[in-house]
Structure 1
Amino acid sequence: MVHVEGVERTDGHMRVEVSTPSQLMGCPDCGVVAPSRGRRVRQLHDVPHGSTRVVLVWRQRVWRCPDPACARGTFTEQVPDLVAARGSVTTRAVAWAMEQLRREHATISGLARQLGIAWKTMWRGIKPVLEHLDGQEQRFEGVKSLGVDEHIWHHGDPRRKGPKELTGMVDLTRDEQGRVHARLLDLVPGRSKKACTDWLTARGDAFRKNIAVAALDPFGGYKAAIDEELADAVAVLDAFHVVKLGTQVVDEVRRRVQQATLGHRGRKGDPLYGIQTILRAGAENLTDKQLDRLATAVEADPAHEEVYVAWRCAQDLRATYRDKDATKGRRRAEKILDSFHTCPIPEVARLGRTLRRWREAFLAYFTTGRANNGPTEAVNGIIELHRRLARGYRNRTNYRLRMLLAAGGLTP
């Protein structure tokens, strides 16, 4: 506990003088009662009062051990609730800064500017707290559903060491009302089976046995790691990525037919070029005018029929996830598995073969309460936002800690 001895306020600054009450103090090493050696002044940066910077002037007590055999010599009082040892930012200011980072999408530079300190000083106060929270294994307890997805933390900057791909591990556990409050568990270096396997192995048997559902994008490395380490979990192919594969097929067919009929890439005035955005939309979202444009473009050349068939296949794939009845949706999905691979359009047939390889994970969506990686993508959105606010990162360790705080993985 500290007492306020005086407050002095000037334009834009507030100076608060504090001290602790007098008390007997024993040497930390030998325990002998030590006489006082006076005080020394220590300036600490505290939470700003509105736009006013606040500086605590702590009159810190100093003692000297009277035992000549003790190697301690002099020592100063420590108040952990006020400030960390050798720190210059109060614990209250650190807690305030972490809340600003997490809730208000602040930046380290902005917070340092408000306190009137350097970026390194601000981060030096926050980083040990985040490292302490990161080391607590309790944050992995209660995870029953896991989302796995890749994340790119930089785009080929040579100053950044290590892989640019990271594997994001997200808690997708539902609460009693069936809602998902996604939180980032970790960002693992690399995008491979080994990266995923090593992380799951490090979590221990209790964590792995508790996982019932694992949602993932169609990457074989993640699927192999889940099958190997989470034998009791159901792997679910993410709906967003499946629909995306269907949309990509339509784009590929459109470009191929465009080249085959006109001999060049799409240009203004070309029938297929004019409907490229319409082909990426859901049929239920198209207006009558857009449907007329689609029909006109398809009828412009008999070869365009392939594009229309591919678009209908993508819409059928999308409809499986839109069906409110999961049983009917599963029946739609089974028909797709039985038919797409026989389609004469090579791109659609390839998609059908891909879905057949992922058959169990594809159909698992309809038997796991529609488990998907949507919340994982939302967490990725938070990460991308904070990366943009900070104008990028050069240190992956700092990046990981910041994103764990921003996306809920570390709770102060």
Structure 2
Amino acid sequence: MDAIRTRAHQDLNDEPARAARLAGVDTLGVDEHIWKPSARHRDRAVTSIVDLTRDQDGRIHARLLDVTLGRSGPVYADWIRARTREFVDGITHASLDPFRGYANAIRTELPDDTVTVLDAFHVVKLASTAMDEVRRRVQQATLGRRGHKKDPLYRIRRLLSTARENLTDRGRARLEAALQAGDPGLEVTVAWHAYQELRSMFHASTPAAGRATAKRVLDSFYRCPIPEIARLGRTLRSWRAEVLAYFDTGGISNGGTEAINLIIEKTRRLAHGFRNFGNYRIRILLAADGTRPWRRQRRGSG
């Protein structure tokens, strides 16, 4: 740990190193994670801030910029406020999950022309969750109980979330047979089509086609007679600008932030947990600084 503290002072704490780490950042990602698993600890949630800036080839080399105690808008806002004016003015894009606290911090602390992008994975996850809620509700209404392994809708619970274009002929036949047997009101069927349409907007052939599909979703889902899909539609409409921004920014997402979270989790597991937040912070900052020292150089390079 003494060696790690020495390295952390060289790379993180002295003024030139701190300025170099924040130089050139134009895209921020933000997410939360749990650093103490026990629910007894009040400070178990932390906010991680990640650099998602693209290089000249359009690739993202995500790296952890900082981590701070707490999961809230004020926590993120305080971190941004503590940075230099030069750093804040350089931020042009910000990606986030659908958490209004972080969105408020971006709106109040970053420049007015900063483009906020809602993460595509979490948008699809919202639709998948809504579809599964419909399936479980219909299951309860038709059977009077939770699903068993031989019940039609329970047997296709995984198949429902499969991309339509990835379904085999056998899978499609299974899906149609189960829906006919267990979905008399066609609510699950409608929810499945809604889910497939939403996820297709992120797999469109062009950004313009994806944006057109997204507008259809935003303008129709909230009027759906199925309550779970209508609620999903209202949620998406409240994030309309952030959803559509995905198609105007070359597909900026929070994927790099999730990749950093995997490195953080691996570091925590290897240490068998941490009790001291200061030690935890410098460990994960060094582990997720964007370098890959274990990668071999290609022959003839360097």
When normalised by structure 1's length, the TM-score is 0.68
Gap change, CA 1:218 and 1:212, over 3 Å in 2 = same
Corresponding position of 1:129: 7
Q: What's the CA shift for 1:281? A: 1.7
Q: Identical aligned pairs, as a percentage?
A: 53
**CA deviation map 1:233-268 (0-9, x unaligned):** 100000010000000001100110111010111112
Q: Indicate conservation of the 8 Å contact 1:149/1:376, yes or no.
A: yes
| SS of aligned partner of 2:157 | helix
Distance in 1 (CA, whole Å) between partners of 2:194 and 2:64 is 35
Alignment of 1:157-306 (within 5 A): 158=40, 163-230=43-110, 231-303=112-184, 305-306=186-187
Alignment of 1:351-362 (within 5 A): 351-362=232-243
**CA deviation map 1:283-302 (0-9, x unaligned):** 12222111111101110144
Corresponding position of 1:142: 24
Q: Indicate conservation of the 8 Å contact 1:298/1:304, yes or no.
A: no
**CA deviation map 1:114-164 (0-9, x unaligned):** xxxxxxxxx122213213422223211100011111111122264x6x521
1:312 matched to 2:167? The reply is no
Distance in 1 (CA, whole Å) between partners of 2:63 and 2:10 is 18
Amino acid of the residue matched to residue 325 of structure 1? T
**CA deviation map 1:1-39 (0-9, x unaligned):** xxxxxxxxxxxxxxxxxxxxxxxxxxxxxxxxxxxxxxx
Structure 2 regions of 5+ residues with no counterpart? 294-302
| SS of aligned partner of 2:67 | strand
Gap change, CA 1:411 and 1:208, over 3 Å in 2 = farther
Instruction: Find the structure with the greater CA-based Rg.
Output: 1
**CA deviation map 1:199-237 (0-9, x unaligned):** 000112111110000000000000000000112210000
Distance in 1 (CA, whole Å) between partners of 2:169 and 2:34 is 40
Q: What's the CA shift for 1:409? A: 6.0
Q: Indicate conservation of the 8 Å contact 1:393/1:399, yes or no.
A: yes
Gap change, CA 1:174 and 1:408, over 3 Å in 2 = same
Distance in 1 (CA, whole Å) between partners of 2:140 and 2:79 is 46
| SS of aligned partner of 2:170 | helix
Please state which structure has a larger fraction of its residues in helix: 2
Q: Indicate conservation of the 8 Å contact 1:153/1:165, yes or no.
A: yes
Q: Indicate conservation of the 8 Å contact 1:130/1:410, yes or no.
A: no
Corresponding position of 2:217: 336
1:152 matched to 2:31? The reply is no
| More contact order relative to length (CA 8 Å, sep ≥ 6) | 2
Please state which structure has a larger fraction of its residues in strand: 1
Gap change, CA 1:199 and 1:411, over 3 Å in 2 = farther
User: RMSD in angstroms over aligned alpha carbons?
Assistant: 1.6
Corresponding position of 2:296: none
Amino acid of the residue matched to residue 186 of structure 1? D
Distance in 2 (CA, whole Å) between partners of 1:348 and 1:130 is 48
When normalised by structure 2's length, the TM-score is 0.91
